[in-house]
Amino acid sequence: MFLSSGNKPLQWLYILVLFTKSDFKTTIIPITFFTAAASPNPTLCHVLQAAFWTWLQVLQFDLANQTMRPEEDEYNKRDRPLPSGRLTLATACKLRWILVPICWAWSASYSKEALYASVAASALTVIYNECATHSGHWTVRNLVNAAGYASFEVGATVVATPGNQHLDRISILSVCISASIYATTIQTQDFKDIHGDRLIGRRTLPIIHPALARYTVIAGLLLWSIVLTYVWDLEQSVQVVLFVLSFFISYRFVTFKDVAADQVSFYWYNVWLSVAHALPGYYRYLAV
């Protein structure tokens, strides 16, 4: 049984959303901003379809991730379906593999390019979870994370693009920059989870080099703000927004170091990331 209280559709939907709850702010919303900005001539309908496509791929990843080490969520996130008892581990494992062909079939209904992105996301999910990259050295973990985000962005941008096929030069450049940002700043999400990560033996940057890790946030955000300024030809007012956010977020990470503060700082990081993801649209429609 999936649920002791019955298998009602709304209960199912609620459980699936709970698996992905924490990723709305970190992945689904930023990538939706990204697709709206990076896709050539997207419509609202296309962007909403891209958001759902992203959610479906993220759901596959989260099911794999949360079934690998469910004891981690007993400490960090007790409202998730497994630690809260809403779903059994055996059922979640079955659902994890059922979702793979569902994601592929859904993607193939758009185009072969969307299918390739979904297959890449599934492969990287296995590398991250079943191959235990998540508990390896932080550099490998960051790179696999960045590649996973890139697969989400490519697929979502393809879905958001009329015709659902080829990406143009701006779209490809946008994905490359975004993946690089993730690879060098994704440690911002690890500060708030440091106690649970240490409990299961993860080697994240905040665990290995706690003091240095906080200063990498300053370097990453400021350097990428400079790069984004020149690549997307930002006017002064947009530069001010980007740099003010960078300084503010960096200050928070270096000054406020408890778990609750790191959670708030990570929210602000995602604000900066959403602004960065919107810049290809600024360049496409305003700067050019």
CA distances from 211 to 76, 145, 206 (A): 22, 22, 7
Residue 74 has a pLDDT of 62
**Helix or strand (DSSP H, E) at 129:** none
58 found inside a domain: yes
Tell me: pLDDT of 7 over 60. Answer: no
2 found inside a domain: no
Name the nearest CA neighbour of 14 among 23, 3, 26, 25.
3
3 found inside a domain: no
Given pLDDT bands bounded at 50, 70 and 90, which one contains residue 71?
Answer: low
Residue 3 has a pLDDT of 46
Residue 84 has a pLDDT of 77
257 found inside a domain: yes
| Listed range (7-16, 109-118, 145-154, 172-181) with the worst mean pLDDT | 7-16
146 found inside a domain: yes
Q: Which domain holds residue 110?
A: 9-287
- Write out pLDDT tens, residues 131-147: 878 777 888 888 999 99
Question: Which DSSP string corresponds to 138-170?
Answer: HHHHHHHHHHHHHHHHHHHHHHHSTTS----HH
DSSP label of 79: T
76 found inside a domain: yes
Report pTM: 0.86
In the chain, how many domains are there? 1
4 found inside a domain: no
Rounded average pLDDT over 192-206? 79
1 found inside a domain: no
